[in-house]
Structure 1
Amino acid sequence: MELIPGLPNDLAFECLIRISFDQFPKASSVCRAWKAVIKQPEFLRRRKASGLTRPVIAICQSRFSLSRLDTVGFRLTLFDPVKRRWHDFPPIPEVVERMPVLCSVVGIGAELAVIGGCDPVTRRYLNSVFIYNFFSATWRRGADMPGEDRLFFGCAASEDGGTVVVAGGRSSTTTLALKSTLAYDVARDTWTTLSCGGLARDSSGKWIGGFTSNIGSCPPLMAEAWAALRGIQLAKALDLQQVILESDSKAIVDGITSNSLPNSLVHNLLATCRRELQGIRDWRIAWIPREQNATADALAKLAVSRPRGIHILPNPPTEIVPYLEYDCSSFFLWRYFAI
């Protein structure tokens, strides 16, 4: 089927990617072929590669009545700094009259997420997630944030636009800041829970100290980065000045040694790792196969059943002793691979 009569489809595709973002819904309604093309991931990728995307600013702002001086509600607006135009988002169906206050707004590819906030009338903390799609100009309800309710949290999207990370904030049940991190996979509409663990051993394999950390929800690579950071901090707390840091994540090893990891969410954690390593006189980092990291993996699994946060272990837990003894036995583990 021809996208545009009389034009080759590749040329028609080049025409479609030049449509302004605020015209996507109208273009999608022209015909099924246009709608199918615009919804393809390749459509947005080609727009970016051709330099046709531009930054926009989403703002949750108050609405004022001309006859009253007090605020009568909130709305979500979009500002296009290139064309210097304001656009109103359609109201979120579930909260038409009560748009959440102090919610977080984050862009994720061709979509925008409104996360959390509090009810403007009852001031109750909300864990709701609403997703707006620029192609269809429609809202959908996402999976609620798990765990403790929170407000004033940090929120950012990964560079690939697939994951939204929520960090910190304040709970309605305590005045203390939350230290947990959550991650939302937009495509799968799921929040995932991960943990990490690690230990310090002397040259003979004897336990010096360890930790478990129930991180909460975050991408797997971020959990690996947290494990590296907590391990370095453990070494400093034990005043270890000659350290070999081992990880079964090659991406983390390369990211610490060569600053080569492009993911901005993990980049900040690895930058902290490098700063912390400055306090250790002699150190190096090495990649090891997962089979040689059994004790750390067992500690990570143990962390899932523990309260959120980090737990320092002066002595090895009973469940970990068999793994520790196995690691000290110096048995070789065969790994099969194809060349």
Structure 2
Amino acid sequence: MEETKTSIIKIQKAVEDDQKQLQQLIPGLPDEISMECLVRVPYQFHSNMKSVCHTWQHLISHPSFYQQRLKSGTSEHLVCLVQPLPPINDSTTTTTTEYDDNPLDSNSSNNNKTTKNEDKQKQQQPIHSPPQYALSIYNATHNIWQRTSPTEGSGIPMFCQCLALPSSGKLLLLGGWDPITLEPVPHVFILDFIGTTGATCNWRRGAPMSVPRSFFACAVIGSSKVCVAGGHDSQKNALRSAEIYDVETDQWKMLPHMIEERDECHGLTWEGDSKFWVVSGYGTESQGQFRSDAEFYDLYTGYWSKVDGVWPFSSASPRGTPTAVCVNRDKHQSLWLLRGNQQQQQQSREVVKVSDTIRLEIVGSIPLPNCITGTTPCVTTFDCVGQEGGNHKNKHRLFVMSGGGGRGSSTLACGECDGEGAFISDGYSNDGTIKWNHIHTPGEFSGFPYSASSLII
């Protein structure tokens, strides 16, 4: 009898031990050690990891896992760009466009130096067909280019806005033109880099904007809200309307109209601030004459306010060459204006005092790489993290890319890129100018990016 009881106790203990091991992230290891191992796995393998077990799937689909990657210095920088697909020279070709289910999955990884000819054919469009657009993703940490697109509908709209929500690992594509009708659309596409299941990249349609619009201002405010304002309608009339989108509830809400009509305006927000800025733009009757002022909407007060003297370039769009990059520097809100080589003589602006506590510092004439000759390069910024450290002298890095140009420019380090290539800033030279590192860009990714954003995964 005693032997039977002892056997039962042993069996029960063995079962309990087995259950504990099944609940552990990696059987036989403390969860703290297991987490240190898992956060070091590159993002391109995360979809495979989710197939291991339910515990791993839940863990790797939760934002806290990526917050831990950020703390441990193992996060990866992703630059997302809306680009046209390259045309096929043979107009009789009927090849359709195909995309990776998961653009950064290890099974579909497309190393930027070893692209196969058959892969190029899959990512091209007939030369006489309506233009088609896709989302290109450059992994700056592992130097990999990939491409993806929503599977439903007519694909990515022309001139849509690309906007990242870093805290939730989501990317939004907003508005733009229908590539066939060339009419503004209210579409919203959401790409979830974190909440994917299996090997499928999680695209979904969001609730449409209340107003179809293109060339409008937009920016993320807080952790899950997006503000949009201005742009133009189907009759090319400049808009004053504005609205706010809650990504978590998938709902839009109209905001009070802006003080002025603003087409081709640029949206800005600063981390920790409740204000949505709309810079410059022009009215219906003054197309191409860009305003020098800006407006901001305060989510706390519910009012728009105008600030004069923010935009110094009456003939240049804030969405174009002087692409505005907002950063927090020395506890002040700063606007960096990047000018092409032909415009390097512009001087830095004075600090614009918005209130006793807010100063908008305009930092002008940051030189671009010499071989960027296009008038409208696309620019985005991201913070240095991980191995670069929080004490990195240049906390903000810039990604710059322009389409056009020819192959094998002698000014490029690789001598193999189509177009003018892409560059990432890497600190400063002794004379105070930015040092630029060239990024090899495969031919199918050399098209001009209409919009760009970045996030850390």
TM-score by length of 1: 0.56
Tell me the residue number matched to 2:355: 274
RMSD: 3.6
The offset of 1:52, in angstroms, is 2.5
The 5 Å alignment of 1:1-339 reads: 1-63=23-85, 64-68=87-91, 70=127, 72=129, 73-89=132-148, 91-95=149-153, 97-109=154-166, 110-135=169-194, 136=196, 137-146=201-210, 148-158=211-221, 160-175=222-237, 177-195=238-256, 222-224=298-300, 227=303, 229=305, 273-274=354-355
The offset of 1:8, in angstroms, is 1.1
The offset of 1:145, in angstroms, is 0.6
Choose between structure 1 and 2: higher strand proportion: 2
Provide the secondary structure at the position in 2 that maps to 1:59: strand
Following the alignment from structure 2 to structure 1, what is the Cα–Cα distance between the partners of residues 155 and 256? 36
Q: Percent identity?
A: 28
Following the alignment from structure 2 to structure 1, what is the Cα–Cα distance between the partners of residues 46 and 332? 34
Following the alignment from structure 1 to structure 2, what is the Cα–Cα distance between the partners of residues 161 and 88? 26
Tell me the residue number matched to 1:207: none
* 8 Å contact kept, 1:21–1:134: no
**Equivalent residue letter for 1:273:** V
Following the alignment from structure 1 to structure 2, what is the Cα–Cα distance between the partners of residues 4 and 71? 54
Deviation string 1:240-282 (CA, Å, 9 cap, x unpaired) is xxxxxxxxxxxxxxxxxxx9799x9xxxxxx76329x99xxxx
Cα separation, partners in 2 of 1:132 and 1:260, compared to 1, 3 Å: same
Provide the secondary structure at the position in 2 that maps to 1:37: helix
Following the alignment from structure 2 to structure 1, what is the Cα–Cα distance between the partners of residues 248 and 65? 17
Unaligned runs of 5+ in 2: 1-22, 92-125, 260-268, 276-297, 309-329, 336-351, 360-457
Cα separation, partners in 2 of 1:225 and 1:163, compared to 1, 3 Å: same
Cα separation, partners in 2 of 1:190 and 1:156, compared to 1, 3 Å: same
Cα separation, partners in 2 of 1:28 and 1:260, compared to 1, 3 Å: same
* 8 Å contact kept, 2:242–2:254: no
Following the alignment from structure 1 to structure 2, what is the Cα–Cα distance between the partners of residues 220 and 173? 32
Larger RCO of the pair (alpha carbons < 8 Å, separation 6+): 2
Provide the secondary structure at the position in 1 that maps to 2:354: helix
Cα separation, partners in 2 of 1:166 and 1:227, compared to 1, 3 Å: closer
Following the alignment from structure 2 to structure 1, what is the Cα–Cα distance between the partners of residues 229 and 304? 18
* 8 Å contact kept, 1:228–1:273: no
**Equivalent residue letter for 1:184:** Y
The offset of 1:181, in angstroms, is 2.7
Deviation string 1:82-114 (CA, Å, 9 cap, x unpaired) is 32210122x31223x543111111111311111
The offset of 1:37, in angstroms, is 0.8
Following the alignment from structure 1 to structure 2, what is the Cα–Cα distance between the partners of residues 184 and 6? 45
Following the alignment from structure 2 to structure 1, what is the Cα–Cα distance between the partners of residues 233 and 220? 22
Tell me the residue number matched to 1:318: none
Cα separation, partners in 2 of 1:130 and 1:165, compared to 1, 3 Å: same
Following the alignment from structure 2 to structure 1, what is the Cα–Cα distance between the partners of residues 304 and 256? 12
